[in-house]
Every structure is written in C-alpha cells, then in structure tokens.
Structure 1
Amino acid sequence: MQINGATALVTGANRGLGRRFAQALLDRGAAKVYAAARDPRTVDLPGVVPVRLDITDPAQVAAAAELAPDVDLLINNAGTGTGATLLDEDPANIRLEMETHYFGTLSVARAFAPVLAAAGGGALVNVLSVLSWTTAPGLEAYSAAKAAELSLTNGLRLALADQKTLVTALHVGFMDTELVAHVDAPKSDPLVVANLALDGVEAGEPEVVADERSRQVRAALSGPLSLLFPSVA
C-alpha cells in the first residue's frame, strides 16, 4: 500500500515512537492521521486528529473503531514499561505488561479488522522489540509480554490473510525516547525507525528489523541458546 493518501490510526501517539509515526505519516502525505492516546489533550502534533484510547479499555477501543471507520493503516504502538521482574515484583505490574502488549493489541486488532477489510485489506503494524526474542535483567515481564505479542502478530498474519491485510512486525532495540532516557546505551532515532517501518509497509514486508542489535539477535535465534544467554553455557 502507499502511505501517500492513506488514513492511519496510531496508538500511543502522544510521545516517543508513536508521535514520530504520526509525524512521518504526515510528512509522507497521509490524508488523515488519527493520533490515539489515553489523554487526547497530550497530543500536540499539528495536523492530526486526537482520539481518546486506552487500549486496555474495551469500551474505548470500540468507540475508537466507530470514530475512525475510514482507517486503512493501523499502527499498534501503545505500550507500557513497568520494569517488572518475575520473582519479586507486584504481580499487578506483570499483568499490566500482558494486558497492554498482548490483550490490548489484540483488542484493537479485533476492533479494526472489519474496518481494514472494508478498505480492501490495508495494513497493520505491530511495534514489537528485540526483546520479543530475548530478555534482559529488569525487563523480564516486558520481554514475556512482547514475546506473546510476537506470537499474536504471527496469528493475526494468518487470520487476516484472506482479507488481504498486510501484517508487519517492527523489531527495534533502544530508541531515543522518554521511556529509556535513563538507559546509557546506543539508541536509534525514533523518526528514522518510524520511516523504516513505513518503508516496509509500502514494500509489503511482513517484518522490519530496524537496528543492528535486533539484526544480531534475529540471526542468533538459529544458534545455540548460549549465543543469546552466555550465562547458560
């Protein structure tokens, strides 16, 4: 599909990668960009249509699908980062990771699947992570939720094939956003990442691996587990 002239909805569009997705869509000539956020008053990008959307609230998800019946490109970007570990964390934070990244993404996909079908198929982008494939200390709950979202993405790809909806998975590591401002590590420019993902959509790609770290981990999946987790060797 072509971004120029498309009508897109981006979840979590008030900051970080989501805001850059909205900006990139406008820059590339999208006809309309719905910028969804839990508090639409925090959407400050000129030219977009703010939408109230907490993806963990089924009523808000249904209302968003009714409000935006012309969408042909859905970008599931909204997420959370609690920093929850698995053994000594409040279980509510672990559940929040799964409720957001898995069940929230599924809820939005289910609501907008008929909208995309009516548009001739369109495209759906799920923002995943290099941590869909691996994990790191302090990120275990997030990684588990992103791994579940990766499996969800594969399932959606099969479920939406008959209606000709392209499903693209975006994998990326640390980006220069507020979420990881405290992390001292190389970070990608989120606007560059957003444009790489949109390039992938226009090329009909089912997967976009946006940075070197993600490419390294992707390649290591076919090797022994010690390539990802040296401590097990």
Structure 2
Amino acid sequence: MVALNGAVAVVSGANRGLGREVARQLVERGARVFAGARDPRSVDIDGVEALPLDITNAEQTAEAARVASTASILINNAGVSTLARLSDGTLDDIRQEMEVNYFGTLNMVRAFAPVLARNGGGAMLNVSSVMAWLALDHSNSYGASKAAVWAMSNGLRVELADAGTHVSSMFVASTDTDMMSSFDIPKHRPEDIVRIALDEFEAGTREILADDTAVALKAGLSEDIGKHAA
C-alpha cells in the first residue's frame, strides 16, 4: 500500500496533460505536491509548489532533490513524442525521445532514490505507454523509449527493494492531452485515467493498466507477435 494522504510528492511534467492532472488529484488526496516543469510559471494548479525542472539536466534534478528533500513519492511523468519512425525518422528526434523519456527519467530516479530511502522508502511511479507493446506506422521510436522505461521499472523494483521503495509503472493508450492533439481518434479523459492510476498506485499495484487497451495488450504479450503490429 502507498499512502498519498500526507505524503510529499514530486511530479515531473506537471504543467500540462497527465502530469498536471496527477498533481491536481494528489492535492485533492491530501498530498503536498512539488509540480515540476521546465518553466515553473506555466504551472497553474492551486495548492502546489512549482519547481523548475528540466529532467534532462542532471544539475536541475539534483537541485530538485535538494529542495524537495522530504519527498516520499516520485511521479516520473515528463515525456516527449516526435512521431519519429525508426527506419527514416531523424536521429535528432529519436535521440530526443530517448534523452527525455529514458535518460531524463533515469536522472530523476538517481536524484530521488536516496531521498526516498532516507524518508523511509516511499514509492515511485514511472509513466510508460502501451506503445511499449505496440507497433504502428509512426511513433515507434517513442515506443522504444517507453519500452526502456518499462524495463527500467522492472530493474528498479529489484534494486530499490532493500531501501523499501515501491516501484510502479503505468501504461495508458490514447488520452486527450497536448501530445495526442494531432490525432482524430477516440481518447480517454485525463481525469479518468489519473483517478484509476492513483487508485492502483495507492493499492500497491506494480504494473498499472489504466485503460482497456492496456489490459488487452498486456494480456496478449504471449501471443504471436504479428497480432501486435498494425
């Protein structure tokens, strides 16, 4: 179980999309929230403390860990999608996705794991995506970076066990955020996805499947790989 009421939580990418909704709902659940964003002026959530945070900058993540030294919860939400294809997308776009989604998340983990340990272990939630398990004509570089986050979470669960740190990962499909604004497809409401995710996080669920697509894809991982290619 992960207690959110009374916890001190740090949320990256908290100025929009899922991160903003996570920060807002954490406040509703009684947490003190540090809302991280590259431009802290863009954080417009009542009851949070805005935190300058570029997760690709190790100095900033270290400073965030110093400022939020009482943190017991870390939500690694910040991410980027360039829609780069692996076969002919620009390497700059592909590297950006890996730098932000994987190495940026790792910067946060390395900065805050000692903080959580000092404060009793706590818990972290790493936001992945169903693209870790899915192939489309676009976004496969993004999918590779999110598969790396999935693997990272599995590894951290083992590495941080002795510190008493609970590690969850979250998987979600199409959600109505800025990242998905160019796609004219059915989308989930962020508030619904976040409510499910935080309920499961509090319950101690290690792999949080936040919508029906995530449930179906995870259940089908043992099937023929062709069924997961579109």
TM norm. shorter chain > 0.5? yes
1:184 alignment counterpart: 184
Give, in whole Å, the separation in 2 of the partners of 1:167 and 1:192: 22
Aligned to 1:15: 16
Q: SS at 1:50's partner residue? A: strand
Percent of aligned pairs sharing the same letter: 47
**Deviation readout 1:131-180 (Å, 9 max, x if unpaired):** 11122111011001111111111111111111111101100001011111
Query: For 1:34, what is the secondary structure of its paired residue?
Result: strand
User: Number of residues paired by the alignment?
Assistant: 229
Deviates more, 1:176-185 or 1:20-29: 176-185
Where does residue 225 of structure 1 map in the other structure? 225
Whole-angstrom distance in 1 between the partners of 2:99 and 2:208: 24
> Does the 8 Å contact 2:80/2:100 carry over to 1?
yes
Any runs of at least 4 consecutive aligned residues in structure 1 with deviations exceeding 6 A, and if so which?
A: none
The amino acid of 2:110's aligned partner reads: R
Shift of 1:229: 2.2
Matches of 1:108 and 1:55 in 2, distance apart?
7
Counterparts in 2 of 1:21-170, with a 5 A limit?
A: 21-30=22-31, 32-170=32-170
Q: Which amino acid aligns with 1:7?
A: V
Note if contact 2:7-2:73 (Cα within 8 Å) is conserved in structure 1. yes
Tell me the alpha carbon deviations over residues 26-79 of structure 1, each in whole angstroms, 9 at most, x when there is no partner: 11111x100000110100111100001110011111111111101100000000
Deviation at 1:181, TM superposition (A): 1.3
Q: Point out where structure 1 has 5 or more consecutive residues left out of the alignment.
A: none
TM-score (norm: length of structure 2):
0.97
Q: CA deviation at 1:191?
A: 1.4
Deviation digits for residues 159-206 of structure 1 (CA, Å, limit 9, x no counterpart)? 111111110110000101111112122211111211212111211110
Note if contact 2:136-2:229 (Cα within 8 Å) is conserved in structure 1: no
Give the residue type in structure 2 aligned to 1:159. Answer: E
TM-score (normalizing by structure 1): 0.96
Give the Cα–Cα distance (whole angstroms) in 2 for the partners of residues 204 and 149 of structure 1: 19
C-alpha separation in 1, matches of 2:158 and 2:211? 26
What is the one-letter code of the residue matched to 2:174?
F
Structure 2, unaligned runs of 5 or more: none
**Aligned-CA RMSD value:** 1.0
